[in-house]
Amino acid sequence: MRIRKAAFAAGGVAALMALGASCTIPSRPSGPSATTMPGMPGMDHGDGAAADPGYGGTGNQKGPDPTAASVTAPRGSFPIATASASGGTGFGGGTIYYPTAAGTYGTIVSVPGFLNPGSVMAPYGQKLASNGFVVLVANTNTVGDLPAQRATELMAAMNWLTTRSSVANKTDKNREGVFGYSMGGGGSLIATKQNPSLKAAVGMAPWNAGGNFAGDRVPVMIAACTGDEEKYRSKGKKKIKEVRKQEEKRIEK
């Protein structure tokens, strides 16, 4: 599948930042001391902040309101740091990006597309963390893992991030979301169906042959590629079969 990453860079981040924005309105002045995250619906951070009665719901935002300029800017207002994520716990390790300011934050995990390392998602992790999220940019166990496997890896990474990582105390375990592109996007959709407690997901050109997501209640945004052509899909299916055969041979050895 041909992915136009430049076009997705703003779209995917904007989706996670703005998804459900109509029901998460800040109830305090914008800034790091505010208590509503811009992006995950109803993300209450436990301080009991009341919503602006003019909008309804509970407002719990971290940082300033998202704007057209902020979602396309290179970084948000939060200084960030990184930490390493070890493998061997159901996913292939990766890198954590998180705000250095005290407090707990909405928690996001990403996985990449077919044949890609998790590092291709690093710009998204950096961008989201700088807007008030703890983000684990995860590797899959193998680059040939299919969407169902990636869904399992997403949730294994989420569990590790919120319970065993060095920044577990900065994660809000009640405010979790996932995203990915291509097969990673397909895995994100599967994860939402299997884990209805997730608060948001974004699938960027998600690939999952034969999936049925009827009844999925998790807020999801899907970005598709207008430049995709049938010949790329055909080539992709052929490559998938080749890689899977290689993986099977490697396992047999």
Give all domains of the chain, ordered by start, each with its CATH number: 5-24+68-207+218-252 (3.40.50.1820)
Name the pLDDT band for 209 (thresholds 50, 70, 90).
Answer: confident
What is the average pLDDT across 227-247?
61
Rg from Cα positions in the chain: 18
Fill in the amino acid letter for 49: A
Contacts of 91 (CB under 8 A, 6+ apart): 111, 138, 139, 140, 141, 153, 154, 156, 157, 160
Residue 103's pLDDT is 93
Tokens 């999220």 identify what position?
Answer: 133
Q: Which residue has the higher pLDDT, 95 or 86?
A: 95
* pLDDT value at residue 148: 96
Question: Residues 185-197: what's their mean pLDDT?
Answer: 96
Q: How far apart are CA 65 and CA 198, in angstroms?
A: 22
Q: Are 150 and 184 in contact (CB under 8 A)?
A: yes
Looking at residue 49, the DSSP 8-state letter turns out to be P
Question: Would the pLDDT of 172 be above 80?
Answer: yes
Average pLDDT, the chain: 77
pLDDT at residue 20 in the model: 35
pLDDT confidence of 67, banded at 50, 70, 90?
confident
Measured between alpha carbons, how far is 110 from 91 in angstroms, rounded to an integer?
11
At 100, the pLDDT band (50, 70, 90 cuts) reads very high
Is pLDDT of 143 > 60? Answer: yes
Asked if residue 136 has pLDDT above 70, the reply is: yes
The answer to whether residue 220 scores a pLDDT higher than 60 is yes
How far are the Cα atoms of 81, 105, 223, 233 from residue 205, in angstroms, in the given order?
29, 27, 6, 12
| Residue 54, beta-bridge partner list | none
In this prediction the pTM is 0.73
What was the pLDDT predicted at 238?
A: 66
Return the pLDDT at 247: 60
Higher pLDDT, 105 or 35: 105
